[in-house]
């Protein structure tokens, strides 16, 4: 019985001492300037806002309208992807 306990403890000791596997960092996706320009135009037209009042801050990954309203890049992209009528009227 003692031999079985020592064997089990030995197995757990060797498993517990294995090196942790490192996880590779996920590379940050860079947004092209053309995409930002397209989304800026989309916000300007859909919100009836002058294009110079729609500013994109890359560090925060957000658009700011009139210096007050903050919209995340992700939410603007989701809205743009669903905006079929906008694409039909203002693109192509």
Report the share of the chain in percent with pLDDT over 90: 61
What's the mean pLDDT in 47-74?
A: 95
What was the pLDDT predicted at 68? 94
What was the pLDDT predicted at 91? 86
What's the mean pLDDT in 63-91?
A: 94
pLDDT tens, residue by residue, 11-52: 555 555 555 556 666 555 567 889 999 999 999 999 999 999
What was the pLDDT predicted at 38? 95
Other C-beta atoms closer than 10 Å to the C-beta of 18 total 7
Token output for 33? 């300037």
What was the pLDDT predicted at 92? 72
Token output for 30? 């860079």
Q: Got the DSSP string for 8-68? A: HHHHHHHHHTSPPPPPPPPPPPPPPHHHHHHHHHHHHHHTT--GGGEEEETTTTEEEETTT
Mean of all residue pLDDT scores within the chain:
82
């Amino acid at each position: 019985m003692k031999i079985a306990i020592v064997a089990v403890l030995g197995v757990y000791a060797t498993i517990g001492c294995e090196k942790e596997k490192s996880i590779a960092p996920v590379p940050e996706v860079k947004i092209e300037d053309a995409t930002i320009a397209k989304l800026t135009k989309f916000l300007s037209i859909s919100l009836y806002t002058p294009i110079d009042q729609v500013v994109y801050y890359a560090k925060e990954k957000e658009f700011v309208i009139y210096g007050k309203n903050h919209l995340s890049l992700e939410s603007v992209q989701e809205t743009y992807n669903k905006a079929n009528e906008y694409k039909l009227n203002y693109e192509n």
